[in-house]
Structure 1
């Protein structure tokens, strides 16, 4: 089994070739998307082995997803094909604003039909990290059940569980339900990776220290907060009861498209933990990969190799606080 296991919904993405409203765009470029998939790609490019669990339609889009992942050397043994539902897809426009318009076609897609039975044939015994987000469990009751089961199996086998809340309100029946279930998942995780605005939403707190303590008080080992253009912050409670906190400034980069930056950050943090880096270096790596990704239009094509990451760190400056 790979070092990292993740489970999520892969989507085929059609990126507009021109900067217009989607209703006016005539030509698109076919790519691939999905939060957990982006993290898997980021980790694999940094040299870590990854198993991706999912389900795609028995259709050309599903074939494309599998082939794409295999070309990235990601283990697709447990990417199942499903006859009764299609592979999800999305349309994304081009923008100079940083936050593009994305139109999703995912309701009832193959990934939403996943049940916990998919985990029966998967060994967690040799894995080190299970990475989950708040998107996959929001797809259906069965994907939520599968997520809780995956966390249970990971802990039974001594794996670290990392969780990115990644809120998608449109996928939940209500905001209240989203907050409740997302926090339940967070409380069962070892490391929680919210954005600052997400942290305020899920905790009702206004300061990064309070957001972190909300989760630490529930047994989470470490909270790493993405602070947007200002950088990142981590906080943990040591065995002696003392609090350890670290901050790291972001990098000066031109922003083309913000989608995928948080996933790149997660890949940086997880890889840094696996490589036993110091906390400041873990945050620096997360910030760097997020910074590299926002300079690219695709959700994941900017995710760097080790050499590309090293080159970025040598040539780009951190912002001055």
Structure 2
């Protein structure tokens, strides 16, 4: 069985359940880009061993979070518990088109210190995996002084034959400035085998507005697989230098775009790990993302998603 490790942060999520006047009733859940990716990967490909690599606290929210991981059949063997820190928290606000904005409270997040828990023994265990996934948010979350240790970990995993996967998920407010993010993203792309960028991320960070510009930039890195997502305009795929374009059928009933890219990533990576072709992997991932954005919150209802994705898997 394949083993995929996903490195990042899971947070406490708050979303408005009902609003009356100045009163706002909030619904509490758990989410985060890498965690969302893990959920959709495991829900779609149950035979893939899916491990979250993160840190939480020992408070009630942290304990509930770990139980939630288990309920989604995500391994918590590499979910470390801090004695002094707690999970980060964020709230989602949606506009009438389903586009979201966020407010974060994460300065005291245990995930910022996750590298303190990764010693030689943990590194050896991670080196036995098939794939290691991280995102631009993963990089921004960890303390800056821990990034040298993180890149040393990546070098060791790559030397051991682990496939390194990077999603350049850019959030400007998490960085001291674009120069810091550019430096870290370039390092990530240099060390990665597969990358799943979105044009919107590169537009914010590098001023690139087309898939062609993103592809030309990425040609300087030794990526064996590059999946450039550009919303309804489709996906540009580069595999071992061969370029192809995949059209996307737009979703009419968009409710919440919170986890569109995360669900795509999870299903795509799971499909590739299970031996699906690039074409079939993109087809499945795109359909999953289209389903997810028709539901509120980052994590769609499990029973509805399972029914939907089983039908899609049967048709591939």
Structure 2 length as normaliser, TM-score?
0.89
Contact 1:55 1:80 in 2 (8 A): yes
> Structure 1's 113 and 221: CA in aligned 2 closer, same or farther, altered over 3 A?
same
233, 238, 249: which one aligns with 1:235: 238
Shift in alpha-carbon separation, 1:142–1:119, aligned structure 2, 3 A: farther
Whether 2:258 is the aligned partner of 1:259: answer yes
Alpha-carbon distance, 1:267 to partner: 0.9
- Name the counterpart of 1:30: 28
C-alpha displacement of 1:119: 4.5
Tell whether the 8 Å contact from 2:199 to 2:208 is kept in structure 1 after alignment.
no
Corresponding residue for residue 60 of structure 2: 60
Partner of 2:244: 245
Q: Following superposition, which runs of at least 4 residues in structure 1 exceed 6 angstroms of deviation?
A: none
Q: What are the Cα deviations for residues 53-93 of structure 1, in whole angstroms up to 9, with x where unaligned? A: 11112211111110100111111012111122221111223
Q: Is the 8 A contact 1:11 1:90 kept in 2?
A: yes
Q: CA deviation at 1:246?
A: 3.4
TM-score by length of structure 1 reads: 0.88
Give the equivalent residue in structure 1 for 2:296. 297
3-state SS, counterpart of residue 238 of structure 2: strand
8 Å contact 1:130–1:162 — kept in the other structure? yes
* Structure 1 partner of 2:186: 183
Deviation at 1:296, TM superposition (A): 1.1
User: Within the alignment, does 1:137 sit opposite 2:139 as a pair?
Assistant: yes
Task: Extract unaligned runs of 5+ from structure 2.
Answer: none
Query: 1:153 deviation in Å?
Result: 2.7
Number of the residue aligned with 1:269: 268
Per-residue CA distance 1:151-202 (angstroms, 9 max, x = gap)? 2232122111111111111111111211221121122111111111223344
Say which is worse superposed, 151-160 or 162-171, in terms of deviation.
151-160
Partner of residue 157 from structure 2, selected from 136, 154, 157: 154
Change (3 A) 1:277 1:102: same
Q: Deviations over 1:280-301 (max 9, x none)?
A: 2121122111111111111122
Give the paired residue count.
309
Query: 1:288 touches 1:313 (CA, 8 Å); kept in 2?
Result: no
Shift in CA distance, 61/306, structure 1 to aligned 2, threshold 3 Å: closer
Secondary structure, aligned partner of 1:26:
strand
Q: How does 1:1-321 map to 2 (within 5 A)?
A: 3-18=3-18, 24-46=22-44, 47=46, 48-115=48-115, 117-122=117-122, 123-139=125-141, 140-238=143-241, 243-301=242-300, 307-311=307-311
